């Protein structure tokens, strides 16, 4: 046995594909939070027992990124390796992705062991040790242990086959579909590496507004090339499936999920995909939503559609992620109620390899939404969380909005069923589901810094960390990200964390305080548009959401209105039913209130709104000042880009504030409170702003 073991010694010339693509410029953001330390020399030695591509990556990562300060040799090994199993370490509950890092004595030699039950676990352990070291932790004494609480930790790319990215603000798609499968851009490796470093283990390559072409043989071969690159990093590939593909590329007359020919077509298609990608993860589907085809076109249910696809991938171990983001143009019901109305009756009707993927709120990734009422309401169905990492509604690429607090606010929300939280629904604890998942709509493009700005990287990072463990704290994540990204100097880290932790609330304040939502301009969703009222469907118009008139503002979702509150468990519904017990941050989401309604502060609703708009602008000004103070402590390239972005944000926060106040005043006829600055322009000026070429807008 001993002879069969491979002991691979550290080699100073070891290079990974990722190293070959190391950036030309030092501080352009390409390296994300993974910033190579000085080459390891001297006392530290890194060795490996066993030989798989993933174990080799774990070793190479440590060699590349672990600071020389370690005072113990590091050993990378599977827990099943005889010399490690002889130590009888507590590894049983690490599952197949967890890791253990700790100092041990092996053959009389002290080493820092990085181990797990699988090579993926070992790789995650290597990244955990690098994170620990880069955020100031001691290496020699490190004892780290963790297993993911959520099984599928998946990015959703809304990337189109022509290279554009729907709601993408960081350049074009990373996937060069045209040159694939022959040319595999080395950047694909770096993408996989970054994801693996934060525990992401799946990626849906194409937009949920899918083209059937992505399921044709040439595109399957392209996806297979990406899957080959991602595999050693523990990342599986998934595809968004267009429900009408059997008609469009299969020559069938129907896509009715109850038609045996349709089911047979999907089964053959799944077989074809698995021949090219043996570990293909499965399908993501947007059906009967915003014009996409689906089973409802044939009078079949969402469960019928999902189960038919699930049967096709089941023999291969695949899954279906079926989105609950549905609302129909024919349905006059409050849009916030429609997904629940459609899906709740289907609880228990989905096949066991289907997950229903639910957005964090019932409308659409607004800067603040109450948690989606489906969480907790479908106990017999694994519900997958869908967050949006790309900031469609939070200032897109340029505004600094750290989404950690948005994500944790939803995850920590109590559903009203005993001690259940949204996180405990998502991680399966609540109903003991084995299949669990969290999806994040990616903010990644081919910009040199991947996400269009340094602070946007933190949102990718935070998503990965929370998908691994939804109970993590947003501020702690911000801190470890800042330490890895800018170094551990507290003169930098403290103000950066402070800026990050205030930033999302600032966006809420200057775009839609007190529970206002969906008040943005049409199409590109860039900038304010609370006046928009002429769009074809009522629920496309901001006026549908805020319902402002001379008397008051807000959407009555209590019993006197749409009664959306009744979709929550009684304990939560009771709170939301009454404006006095509704958190003020969600007040106008649930209630239509007079402008002179008294807030807890004693101010009128109107005064409180105005104060919040001003507070949002002031917070951005403070963030700018804090960043200015870091000029000498942050590299020039990243400092300047963020400084420029903050100046854009301050200008645009003012624009949001001024345009919104000008509009509300045109509706309520109220003066601004004493001492408050008037909007810079009149309402007509704000209404006349037009941005036909804003990025990310689907055409």
392 part of the active site = yes
- Smallest separation (angstroms) from ligand GCV to the CB of 164: 12
Per-residue DSSP letter, 39: P
- Smallest separation (angstroms) from ligand GCV to the CB of 86: 51
Q: Around Cβ 98, how many Cβ atoms within 10 Å?
A: 22
Q: Are strands 99-106 and 109-116 parallel, antiparallel or unpaired?
A: antiparallel
- Smallest separation (angstroms) from ligand GCV to the CB of 557: 20
- Smallest separation (angstroms) from ligand GCV to the CB of 656: 18
The kind and range of the H/E element at 380 are none
Report CA torsion sign: 556, 559, 565, 571.
positive
Whole-angstrom CA distances from 355 to 348, 380, 435, 466, 688 are 11, 11, 8, 19, 44
Q: Which is nearer to ligand GCV, 288 or 642 (CB)?
A: 288
Non-local CB neighbours of 49 within 8 Å, separated by 6+ positions:
5, 6, 7, 75, 76, 77, 78, 81, 83, 84
248 part of the active site = no
Q: Which is nearer to ligand GCV, 135 or 156 (CB)?
A: 156
| Given 65, 190, 369, 392, the catalytic residue | 392
Per-residue DSSP letter, 35: -
| Given 81, 119, 364, 409, the catalytic residue | 364
**Which string of b and e fits 12-34 if b means at least 16 CB within 10 Å?**
eeeebbbeeeeeeeebbbbbbbb
Q: Which is nearer to ligand GCV, 164 or 562 (CB)?
A: 164
- Smallest separation (angstroms) from ligand GCV to the CB of 166: 5
- Smallest separation (angstroms) from ligand GCV to the CB of 158: 5
**Helix spans in 234-373 (H):** 245-248, 260-276, 302-313, 335-343
290 part of the active site = yes
Q: Which is nearer to ligand GCV, 211 or 592 (CB)?
A: 211
Q: Report residue 202 as tokens.
A: 């799946």
DSSP characters over 384-452: EEEEE-S-TTTTTTTS----HHHHHHHHT-B-SSTT-BHHHHHTSTTTT-S--EEEEE----SSTTSSS
User: Cα–Cα distance between 160 and 173 in angstroms, integer?
Assistant: 8
Q: Which is nearer to ligand GCV, 475 or 535 (CB)?
A: 535
Q: Which is nearer to ligand GCV, 271 or 290 (CB)?
A: 290
- Smallest separation (angstroms) from ligand GCV to the CB of 696: 8
Report CA torsion sign: 330, 331, 335, 341.
negative
Q: Around Cβ 82, how many Cβ atoms within 10 Å?
A: 12
Q: Which is nearer to ligand GCV, 284 or 478 (CB)?
A: 284
Cα 591 from chain centre:
29
Q: Which is nearer to ligand GCV, 149 or 167 (CB)?
A: 167
**Which string of b and e fits 264-294 if b means at least 16 CB within 10 Å?**
ebbbebbeebbebbeebbbbbbbbbbeebbb
| Given 51, 162, 271, 290, the catalytic residue | 290
- Smallest separation (angstroms) from ligand GCV to the CB of 438: 16
Tell me which residues touch ligand GCV (CB under 6 A). 158, 166-167, 208-209, 286, 290, 325, 364, 392, 698
Active site amino acids: 290, 364, 392
């Amino acid at each position: 046995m001993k002879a069969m073991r491979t002991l691979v010694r550290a080699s100073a010339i070891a290079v990974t594909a990722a190293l070959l693509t190391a950036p030309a410029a030092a501080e352009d953001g390409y390296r994300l939070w993974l910033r190579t330390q000085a080459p390891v020399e001297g006392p530290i030695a890194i060795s490996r027992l066993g030989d798989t591509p993933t174990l080799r990556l774990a070793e190479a990562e440590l060699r590349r990124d672990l600071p020389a300060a370690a005072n113990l040799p590091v050993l990378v090994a599977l827990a099943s390796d005889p010399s490690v199993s002889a130590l009888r370490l507590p590894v049983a509950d690490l599952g197949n992705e967890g890791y253990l890092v700790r100092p041990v004595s092996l053959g009389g030699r002290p080493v820092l062991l990085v181990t797990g039950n699988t090579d993926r676990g070992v790789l995650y352990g290597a990244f955990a040790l690098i994170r620990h070291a880069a955020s100031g932790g001691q290496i020699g004494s490190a004892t780290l242990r963790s297993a993911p609480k959520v099984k599928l930790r998946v990015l959703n790319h809304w990337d189109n086959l022509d290279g554009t990215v729907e709601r993408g603000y960081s350049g074009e798609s990373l996937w060069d579909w045209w040159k694939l499968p022959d040319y595999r851009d080395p950047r694909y490796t770096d993408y996989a590496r970054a994801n693996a470093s934060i525990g992401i283990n799946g990626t849906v390559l194409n937009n949920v507004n899918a083209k059937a072409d992505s399921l044709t043989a040439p595109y399957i071969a392209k996806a297979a090339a990406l899957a080959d690159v991602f595999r050693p990093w523990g990342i599986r590939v998934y595809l968004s499936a267009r429900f009408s593909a059997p008609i469009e590329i299969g020559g069938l007359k129907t896509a009715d999920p109850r038609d045996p020919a349709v089911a047979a077509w999907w089964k053959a298609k799944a077989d074809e995909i698995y021949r090219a990608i043996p570990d293909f993860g499965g399908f993501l589907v947007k059906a009967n939503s915003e014009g996409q085809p689906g089973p409802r076109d044939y009078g079949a249910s969402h469960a019928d559609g999902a189960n038919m696809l699930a049967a096709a991938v089941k023999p291969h171990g695949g899954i279906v992620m079926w989105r609950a983001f549905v609302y129909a143009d024919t349905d006059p019901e409050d849009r916030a109620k429609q997904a629940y109305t459609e899906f709740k009756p289907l609880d228990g009707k989905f096949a066991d390899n289907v997950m229903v993927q639910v957005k964090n709120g019932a409308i659409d990734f607004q800067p603040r939404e109450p948690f989606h009422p489906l969480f907790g309401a479908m106990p017999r169905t694994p519900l997958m969380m869908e967050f949006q990492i790309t900031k469609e509604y939070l200032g897109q690429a340029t505004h600094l909005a750290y989404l950690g607090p948005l994500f944790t606010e939803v995850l920590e929300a109590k559903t009203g069923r005993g001690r259940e939280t949204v996180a405990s629904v998502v991680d399966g604890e609540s109903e003991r589901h084995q299949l669990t998942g969290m999806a994040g709509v990616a903010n990644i493009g081919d910009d040199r810094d991947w996400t269009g700005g340094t602070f946007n990287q933190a949102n990718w990072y935070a998503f990965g960390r929370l998908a691994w463990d939804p109970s993590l704290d947003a501020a702690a994540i911000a801190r470890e990200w800042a330490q890895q990204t800018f170094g551990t100097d507290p003169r930098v880290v403290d103000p950066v964390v402070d800026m990050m932790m205030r930033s999302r609330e600032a966006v809420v304040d200057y775009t839609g305080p007190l529970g206002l939502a969906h008040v943005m301009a049409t199409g590109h969703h860039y900038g304010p548009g609370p006046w928009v009222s002429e769009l074809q469907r009522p629920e496309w118009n901001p006026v549908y959401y805020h319902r402002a008139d001379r008397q008051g503002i807000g959407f009555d979702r209590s019993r006197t209105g749409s009664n959306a509150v009744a979709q929550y468990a009684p304990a939560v519904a009771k709170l939301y039913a009454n404006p006095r017990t509704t958190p003020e941050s969600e007040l106008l989401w649930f209630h239509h209130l007079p402008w002179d309604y008294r807030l807890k502060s004693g101010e009128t609703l109107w005064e409180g709104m105005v104060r919040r708009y001003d507070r949002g602008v002031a917070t951005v000004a403070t963030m700018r000042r804090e960043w200015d103070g870091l000029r000498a402590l942050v590299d020039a390239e990243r400092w300047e880009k963020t400084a420029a972005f903050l100046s854009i944000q301050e200008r645009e926060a003012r624009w949001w504030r001024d345009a919104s106040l000008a509009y509300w005043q045109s509706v309520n006829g109220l003066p601004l409170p004493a001492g408050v600055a008037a909007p810079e322009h009149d309402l007509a000026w704000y209404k006349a702003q037009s941005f036909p070429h804003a990025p990310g807008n689907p055409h």
